[in-house]
């Protein structure tokens, strides 16, 4: 088994010391470094501690050597495409954000900035957290099995206002939605 602690830690922008401090109970950066490099065995106990500190599922920390994963091999900067010093596993944002419930909206007809064939991955949040999603694209369940999709523009009490993506459409007001799903990742075929 190959451990992916370093790749996940870097994707989350954490140093060895940050990760060591976030563990419960805290540990040392040296211990985390040894676990990352395989100089120390990654036990179930350590997987649970490190996964908790990174906010991911423990099984995310390891992968089979037989499973080929997409690799990040280069980065694009102002000077052009540059090779990384060493390739690393490409991790989806959905893999990094823990146990949040996700839903997917498929785009059948182009609307606003979305094109036919796109998939929009959304993360569910509680309605009382809607203030964090103002000016973000959201999917909100309505009565009768319908949905409102568009830019969240208003929240007043148990009501939310959503401005649809199409031109000239009126704001939709949804009373007491069960959840709100905030757009997190757009998947578009080239």
Name the band, by pLDDT with cuts 50, 70 and 90, for residue 75: confident
Look at residue 94 in the predicted model and tell me its pLDDT.
Answer: 60
Q: Which long-range contacts (CB under 8 A, 24 or more apart) does 24-29 make?
A: 24/49, 24/52, 24/53
Q: What share of the chain is helix, strand, coil (3-state, %, to 5)?
A: 25, 35, 35
Name the band, by pLDDT with cuts 50, 70 and 90, for residue 185: confident
Give the mean model confidence (pLDDT) for residues 128-156: 91
For the chain, the domains span 2-94, 102-187
Task: State the pTM of this model.
Answer: 0.60
pLDDT for 136 beyond 90: yes
Determine whether domain 2-94 maps to CATH 3.40.50.300. Answer: no
- Which range has highest mean pLDDT (71-80, 95-104, 115-124)? 115-124
Determine whether domain 102-187 maps to CATH 2.10.109.10. Answer: yes
Share of the chain above pLDDT 70, in %: 92
């Amino acid at each position: 088994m190959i451990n992916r602690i370093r790749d996940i830690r870097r994707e989350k922008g954490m140093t060895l010391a940050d990760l060591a401090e976030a563990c419960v109970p805290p540990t040392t950066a040296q211990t985390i470094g040894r676990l990352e490099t395989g100089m120390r065995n990654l036990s179930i106990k350590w997987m649970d501690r490190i996964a908790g500190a990174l906010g991911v599922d423990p099984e995310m920390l390891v992968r089979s050597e037989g499973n080929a994963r997409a690799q990040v091999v280069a980065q694009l900067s102002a000077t052009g495409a540059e090779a990384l010093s060493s390739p690393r596993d490409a991790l989806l944002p959905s893999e990094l954000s823990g146990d949040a419930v996700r839903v997917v909206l498929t785009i059948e007809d182009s609307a606003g900035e979305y094109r036919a064939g796109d998939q929009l991955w959304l993360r569910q949040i509680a309605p009382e957290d809607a203030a964090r999603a103002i000016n973000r694209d959201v999917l909100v369940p309505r009565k009768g099995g319908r949905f409102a999709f568009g830019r969240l523009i208003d929240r007043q009490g148990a009501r939310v206002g959503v401005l649809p993506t199409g031109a000239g459409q009126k704001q939709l007001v949804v009373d007491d939605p069960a959840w709100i799903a905030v757009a997190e990742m757009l998947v578009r075929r080239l």
